[in-house]
Amino acid sequence: MFDEAERDGKRTNSQTEQQDDDGGSLLERRDVLKMGAAAAAAGLGTAATSGTAAAATERHGIQFERVVNAVEDLGMDPEGNDPIDDALQGTLDDENTLVEFPPGTYYVKDEHAEGELNNWGIRGLGENPSDVRFVSDSGTSQFVLRVGGGTGLLVENVAFDYGDEKEGSLGLLLKANDKLRVQDVEFIGFNPTAGNGAVDNLSPQVLDEDGTAVVDGLVRKGPTDITSHGHLGNDSNEGCIWLGKKHVGELVVRNSHIENTGTNAIYARRCPGDVKVENCTFKNNNQTSLRIGGEGCHVKGCDFIVDTEATPDANGGKLINPHGIMWETGSRGEKGGSIEDCNFVYRTAPSKTTAAVWVDGSAGEMAIRNSRFELEASDVAAVRIDDPTDPRLGDTAAKPWNVELDGVSVTGSSSGSDPTVQITNRDGSVVRNCCLQLTGDRDGIAFENSDDSTIADTTVNVAGQETILGDSNVSTENVSNSGSCPAPNPQ
């Protein structure tokens, strides 16, 4: 187990903290680029009135008054030699524009920041996102685009390529009131530590409680630097998707593949808004793939795979603590939410990995349903659910604290001193329709200080103790100690 500060993912660098509070800190970019942007905007207007630009269109529910071609209409260089900044800034100032990029490489020298942006987007015209690549100077660390609000923002079918120099990375910091869409976007390159210029790849924040954002088809695979957190004397890394306190609407992340991050793949611990993760694949992400929790949040149909022997040789460092999900709500102390229809496969893993699903004491009532675990790695529990009264957490989670495990199956050869499923100080919890079948030396289900709880219609076929009921009044009904259990079948 790692210490409390490491579990909380605290960072010594201030970069990510600033992302959620910097609103217009870079708005002076508009002044710096003003003259070139004005010229580009004039060219855009000419294209729109002369008929070379396409008429109004709609994509993913976002209305655009005009569509322009980045090369033919705006004169951008698709060979990656001349910067596209002035022409790009012209479309940002004009808004209501979809810029379509033919296959090629486009050199963005500077960050582009807008306090508010409405009905604006970029779309690659290639068959794959990598056909349209945005690049910058070697070692550059920046958000290609920062947006602080507005409605209707699209980034589609493009890639951000920051190379393999192990210094610098590119990202998108996108805040919108509503209708934010990131569709089929790939981040390519080596992800370094913060000290070498790492930025989170994507921060899709919804500022209106009734607003929505969708991230669909995102891909990031690394390689990456894997280090412990800065408080242990090392530079920390940055994750793929990061959300902070200003996200109050709904974000859906679906059909995405995030692999080989040096730290959290998706960090959503602090945001009061809903976060829904669906039909995604997470593989070999250090610390945890998802930090999520609370009412309105769910994880559905996702695969979580950890195999330390399958990490790229190009990585800097080895996996330290690759948990699948840390279900937590931090200082919000919320209840609610669920994990459903997911697969968790741990083939090999480092000893500091506590559990595939770790429910922090900051989270109240929640449920895990119809999910399968394969544990071949030793010392990794399937599910660990912590005490919500742990004084190290400060405020306790919202009541009720009970948890539900329904249709959970655990198979494999894992051995370990911790039980396969452990539930602490969660009165009224239920384990039903579950199945544990482990050939290693391992205990089954443990309740601690959890009265009025139930184990029903469940198989516990393990070499160690089937159930451990420490200071807990737990009723058991139709509990078997033999039989086989269904294994995961990740896609």
Convert the pLDDT of each residue in 74-110 to its tens digit: 999 999 999 999 999 999 998 899 999 999 999 999 9
| Start-end of CATH 2.160.20.10 domains in the chain | 1-298+318-323
43 C-beta neighbours (distance < 10 Å), count? 17
C-alpha to C-alpha distance for 247 and 274, rounded to whole angstroms? 8
Q: What local confidence, expressed as pLDDT, does residue 391 receive?
A: 80
Peptide bond into 223 cis (omega under 30): yes
Q: Which of 78-82, 162-166, 393-397, 474-478 has the lowest mean pLDDT?
A: 393-397
Among candidate residues 366, 217, 200, 219, the one with its CA nearest the CA of residue 278: 217
C-alpha to C-alpha distance for 227 and 235, rounded to whole angstroms? 7
Q: What local confidence, expressed as pLDDT, does residue 236 receive?
A: 83
**pLDDT of 363 over the 80 cut:** yes
Mean pLDDT of 303-309: 96
CATH of domain 1-298+318-323: 2.160.20.10
User: Identity (one letter) of the amino acid at 168?
Assistant: G
**pLDDT of 19 over the 90 cut:** no
Residue 5, H or E segment: helix 4-8
